Structure 1
Amino acid sequence: MSFDTLSSLAQQRPLRLLLVNAGEADAITWAGLAQPLRLAAAALGRDALQLETMTPAQVVLAQPNWHIALLVADEQQAPLSSEQARAVIERCRSAEYWGGVGAGVLWLAKAGLMADVRIALPWALYADTEDITERAILTPHLFELDGRHLSCCGGAASIDFALTLIEHLFGANVQAAVKESLCVERVRGPEERQRVALQARFGALQPRLSEAVTLMETNIEEPLSTDDIANLVGLSRRQLERLFKQYLGSLPSRYYLDLRLQRARQLLLETNHSIVQVGLMCGFSSGSHFSTAFGSLFGNTPREERQRKLASPS
């Protein structure tokens, strides 16, 4: 789901945002999320954004009154006690949009609150998901918004996640000012992937799925058909589609298209290739097909994406 749906909150004044720090204050998962939002709050003033940061012990005593609430913990953090976790999660769930960052995502999933929800979980925690009975859909992305549920894999991706929230809630100018303060040149989008996530999760358990994705990643300019990929990994088309649906929540053709479009977006932002060249390099022989597919995934055209790059402060 597009982060554009957060625009419904953009009219709220003041917008009340809660961050619950269940980990260490100097962990990058926490600092990367909190610092951009603090800078935005300072620039906007309390009439526009009221940012509250609390410990688990503090939040259970607070009166719920937030538009967004996030439970944050570094991936190495030990879980909260079951009683404290229930109380903290109950407070967070009272917000219009709520979720977790880093290990907080895993705790929400283990509480049975992410059933059939697309979540971005730190790849290092994939091994801890075996006992989750209410299955979430683990994606390899940096962060996700599914319905009211927000999730981010944490680490350095917390910075990208915070800056994306700022853009959609308060506009590109506020985001640009915070980026400049932090010396951030490019914000990675929610569709970008944790580099080792798929191999870490599926390499041993689902080697054919991992092999199929590798084939897609290495055949961007001249895409293979779904039948070709199935044959190359030794599966029927139906078996391959079942694996993708079960583990990635997508059909192979859709997943492959998204990979190509993500590569196209990267080229538009990081190179000076023409839009036509970028389309051809990512397997699109038709400019109109490229533009339509790109707009469907990202919400803007390749030309608008390139203009964003040109307009960004150096």
Structure 2
Amino acid sequence: MFKRVAGTGPDKVVIVLIPNFSMIALSGVVEPMRLANRASGKTLYEWELASRDGEPVQASNGMALVANRSVADFTQTPANVILCSGIDGHVYKDNAVFGWLRRWAREGAHIGAVCTGAHVLAHAGLLKGYRCTIHWENLDSFTEEFPDLDVRAELFEVDRDRFTCAGGIAGLDMMLQEIAAKHGQELAAAVAEQFMHERMREGHDDQRLPLQARLRISHPKLIRAISEMERNTEEALTRDEIADRVGLSRRQLERLFRRYLNTSPARYYLKIRLNRARTLLTQTTMPVTEVAFASGFTSASHFSKCYRDMFGRTPRAERRNPGAPIDEGLRDPGLDFLDATSDLSEDGFEDDDFEDDFDDDELD
């Protein structure tokens, strides 16, 4: 992953801070290097912080870090560069920074990104022909904006002289793999133990918790049904199609959702699709009508009504003021505020009443 320049001693890394960067993503990269130096008793890694203009950069948590220098201050091309971004990575467009990144790439630097830094690399044109990843919350919008890129839902991806990481503590796992590859598994394990990190995850491990852990449910057919919903947001499945895929009748499917989640399949599916729509509205410039279609709606007006019912504002208002607080009186975990007689049939479901006409044993 890191490029080592012959005869120069430790691996040297320049970390470029993007405004509103994630502090935990930065720590996940820096702290393993610090602990590797400490545990080995040697200076294996050296790093410095850079910013566009050499001025301090504020993180998303409000804390500001002092940069060692600006990107223009480097008289020699850095061997390794890591972009550290955060919640605003998708809107960051700075031609001066892009120009330096392209120059460094042409001159042989190994360039990577953590959290939403992949957005910055993509805007700079530095991910074409490379595998890459990004935080799961940004995957949908990232793939919509850059459909030609090879985007993977991995913890981290290392592809020749590019490396990308999903952010959070995934940077720790990526750095542990780097330490193990360069300096041995024993040192990597010692660093992991300092973090009380019980398992060094591989790049292909899932970013998100399993559905069982997220929802605290264990019924296998319910888990499969929700997985089908999450995989099919653009072309919404009908209730019968979902039931058939998991080996249940339609009424058994209804009963499972009522019993474990206190809602109906229609309402749960709608919530998944509306959350996808919100991501696309706040992280892309897709027209609202296209967002509706990409979220499984065939009617823009119906999409707008459902969106307002859930989030307390219209899709257009969301785009004008992304991240505004949601009216908690309107957003209910089970979407119970929606009228049970609402016609959802155009989007694949009708939320009619289910009948309690079979035993619980039929679900087991």
Report the TM range for the smaller structure's normalisation: 0.5 to 0.7
Who is 2:233 aligned against? 204
- How far is the alpha carbon of 1:25 from its aligned partner? 6.6
Question: In the superposition, relative to structure 1, how do residues 9 and 71 fare at CA in structure 2: closer, same or farther (>3 Å)?
Answer: same
- The code of the aligned residue for 1:51 comes to W
- How far is the alpha carbon of 1:189 from its aligned partner? 0.5
Who is 1:165 aligned against? 178
- How far is the alpha carbon of 1:71 from its aligned partner? 0.8
1:51 equivalent among 39, 47, 61: 47
1:130 equivalent among 144, 157, 161: 144
Who is 1:28 aligned against? 24
1:121–1:151 Cα contact (<8 Å) kept:
yes
Who is 1:70 aligned against? 82
Q: Whole-Å Cα distance in 2 between the matches of residues 66 and 45 of structure 1?
A: 25
1:60 equivalent among 58, 72, 75: 72
**Paired residue secondary structure (1:31):** helix
2:201 equivalent among 182, 188, 193: 188
Q: Whole-Å Cα distance in 2 between the matches of residues 67 and 169 of structure 1?
A: 16
Q: Whole-Å Cα distance in 2 between the matches of residues 200 and 74 of structure 1?
A: 28
Task: Give the superposed CA RMSD.
Answer: 3.7
- How far is the alpha carbon of 1:177 from its aligned partner? 2.2
2:158–2:164 Cα contact (<8 Å) kept:
yes
Higher Rg: 2
Q: Whole-Å Cα distance in 2 between the matches of residues 14 and 166 of structure 1?
A: 12
Question: In the superposition, relative to structure 1, how do residues 26 and 143 fare at CA in structure 2: closer, same or farther (>3 Å)?
Answer: closer
1:105–1:151 Cα contact (<8 Å) kept:
yes
Unpaired segments ≥5 residues, structure 2:
54-69, 211-226, 246-364
Unpaired segments ≥5 residues, structure 1:
216-314
**Alpha-carbon displacement from aligned partner over 1:74-102 (angstroms, at most 9, x marks no partner):** 24446444223314423652454212111
Q: Which has the higher contact order (CA 8 A, sep 6+)?
A: 1
- How far is the alpha carbon of 1:7 from its aligned partner? 9.3
Question: In the superposition, relative to structure 1, how do residues 199 and 30 fare at CA in structure 2: closer, same or farther (>3 Å)?
Answer: farther
Question: In the superposition, relative to structure 1, how do residues 109 and 203 fare at CA in structure 2: closer, same or farther (>3 Å)?
Answer: farther
1:22–1:73 Cα contact (<8 Å) kept:
yes
Which structure's residues are more often helix, by fraction? 1
- How far is the alpha carbon of 1:46 from its aligned partner? 6.8
Number of aligned residue pairs: give it: 207
The percent identity for this pair of structures is 24
Question: In the superposition, relative to structure 1, how do residues 158 and 164 fare at CA in structure 2: closer, same or farther (>3 Å)?
Answer: same
**Is residue 14 from structure 1 mapped to residue 28 from structure 2 by the alignment?**
no
**Paired residue secondary structure (2:15):** strand
- The code of the aligned residue for 1:13 comes to G
**Alpha-carbon displacement from aligned partner over 1:36-92 (angstroms, at most 9, x marks no partner):** 122223445675322223223322322334332211112444644422331442365
- How far is the alpha carbon of 1:160 from its aligned partner? 0.9
- The code of the aligned residue for 1:118 comes to R
**Is residue 147 from structure 1 mapped to residue 176 from structure 2 by the alignment?**
no
- How far is the alpha carbon of 1:207 from its aligned partner? 6.4
